[in-house]
Amino acid sequence: MATKTKQLTVTKRIVDSKRHTVGYVINDSHVGRDEAVLLATRNWIKGVKIKKTGNNSYLMGDGEHSLYSLPILVKTTGLS
């Protein structure tokens, strides 16, 4: 898990072979989507907002930057 300091930064987007986002690299740590949403809910990640749709929540850029413009890291297996 990422450290508990404020103002973490998302540096890469982790995607599966179908290019679906499965996580993020935050301060050099691999973090799953759910954990990233939890960190953003606590205002620990700068430059992101939380989008809620039904029972799901996900991250999106703050309007200035899009998370889709981040470099991607393709994972073919689990996050570890």
pLDDT tens, 26-49? 999 999 999 999 999 999 999 999
In whole angstroms, what is the distance from residue 9 CA to residue 32 CA? 14
Q: Residue 38 burial (CB < 10 Å; 0-12/13-18/19+)? A: middle
| pLDDT(11) > 80 | yes
Residue ranges of the domains in the chain? 10-74
In whole angstroms, what is the distance from residue 21 CA to residue 3 CA? 22
pLDDT tens, 56-80? 999 999 988 899 999 999 988 755 5
Q: Which residue has the higher pLDDT, 33 or 1?
A: 33
